[in-house]
Amino acid sequence: MNIADKTVAQFHYILKDEAGNEIESSHGHEPLAYLHGANNTLPGLEKALTDKATGDKFTVTLQPEEAYGERNETLVERVSAKHLHGLPSKNAKWQPGMIAIVQTEQGQRQVTVVKTGKFMVTVDINPPLAGKVLTFDIEVLDVRAATEEEIQHGHVHNGSCGHDH
């Protein structure tokens, strides 16, 4: 079976930056599973996975507009430090470059700490990989038809997806 709309694809990936440095890898973890055609992954990645089959291995390089978008310099805001979550320990303090979690009306969002003050923290709301050219080494592990429930809900159900239904 080939990857198409209403199929669930499982794959391992290695994500690299423009210089070829590894940013992230699914190897050693569960493979990524997504419902194709439901906007559950990066647009350029979904396009590259279309028509691939179990066992296919390939590399795709995505421009920012096919991945996390261009950086928007206006997406820098000052927020109260008490709204930031994700410090590694109780005694840790926010430092520039750290990734924090903020609750928004659209749900949880990752932000990057730019500058810290006593009570307020300046954060960059752009996705950490916005504006970057990214290369993915992909290995397709499995392709299956999506269930009716997955199609209705718009995402994969694997028993551990963390959604309450």
- pLDDT per residue, tens digit, the chain (165 aa), is 999 999 999 999 999 999 999 999 999 999 999 999 999 999 999 999 999 999 999 999 999 999 999 999 899 999 999 999 999 888 889 999 999 999 888 788 889 999 999 899 999 999 889 999 999 999 999 999 999 999 999 999 865 444 444
Q: What is the rounded distance in angstroms from the CA atom of residue 32 to the CA atom of residue 92?
A: 31
Nearest to 100 by CA among 120, 118, 117, 125: 125
pLDDT at res. 12: 97
pLDDT at res. 123: 95
pTM: 0.79
22-25 vs 76-80, strand pairing mode: unpaired
Q: Could you tell me the CA-to-CA distances from 158 to 60, 87, 136, 137 in Å, in that order?
A: 27, 29, 24, 24
- The amino acid occupying position 118 is K
CB-hemisphere CA count at 13 Å for 67?
A: 21
pLDDT at res. 64: 96
Q: Which domains does the chain have, with CATH numbers?
A: 7-68+130-153 (3.10.50.40), 76-124 (2.40.10)
Per DSSP, 46 falls in state: H
User: What is the separation of C-alpha 87 from the centre of its chain, rounded to a whole number of angstroms?
Assistant: 20
The two three-digit tokens of residue 155, written as one number = 């995402």
120-124 vs 76-80, strand pairing mode: antiparallel
pLDDT at res. 163: 43
